[in-house]
Amino acid sequence: MKKNRTFLTICTLFIGVLFVASCDDDLSPLGGEIIGGNNFNTNLFEGSEVLSYSVLVNPTQTNGLPVYQLGVYNDPIYGQTTSSVLSQVILNTVNPSFGENPEIESVILSIPFFSRDDIVSEESDDFILDSIYGNSEIKLSIYESTYFLR
C-alpha cells in the first residue's frame, strides 16, 4: 500500500513540474527571430500587359452559406455571370410512408438578404434592400430537377 502511495505522489509531482515548466512567458512577435528589418527586395517592373478572362466554373456544393448569389449579372468587361441554386428535399426520418401517389403541394425557398433600417413609409412594411443589384424587376422561377444530389 505504501509503494502505491509513493508512486502516486511521485507521478503527481512529476506532472506538476511538467505543467509549471511548460508555461512560457517569453512571447515574441511573429518573425521576431529574423535578423534585419527588410526581408524582401523587389524592383519595379513596368511595361507588361495583363490578360484577364472568365472561366466557367463547375457546380460546387455549398451547404449552409450565410449569403447566396442568385441571378444574372452583366459586367461590361468580363461578360455575363449566372448564379442559381439546386436543392433537394431532406427527410427527417428514414424510409417514411407517403401513401399512394404523393405530390408536393408547396415549396418554401428561404433566401437570406441584407437590408438597412430605413423604412420607406410608416403605412407599409416595405424597406430598402442593400444586397440586390440593379433596379429592374426580379423574375424568380422554381423548377423540378431530376438530378440526384449525393
Total count of residues recorded for the chain: 150
Beta bridge partners of 115: 129
How would residue 102 be classed by pLDDT, with cut points 50, 70 and 90? confident
Q: How far is residue 44 from each of residues 23, 41, 49, measured CA to CA in Å?
A: 46, 10, 14
Give residue-wise pLDDT tens across range 60-80: 777 777 777 777 888 888 888
Q: Which position has the higher pLDDT, 149 or 6?
A: 6
pTM, two decimals, is 0.40
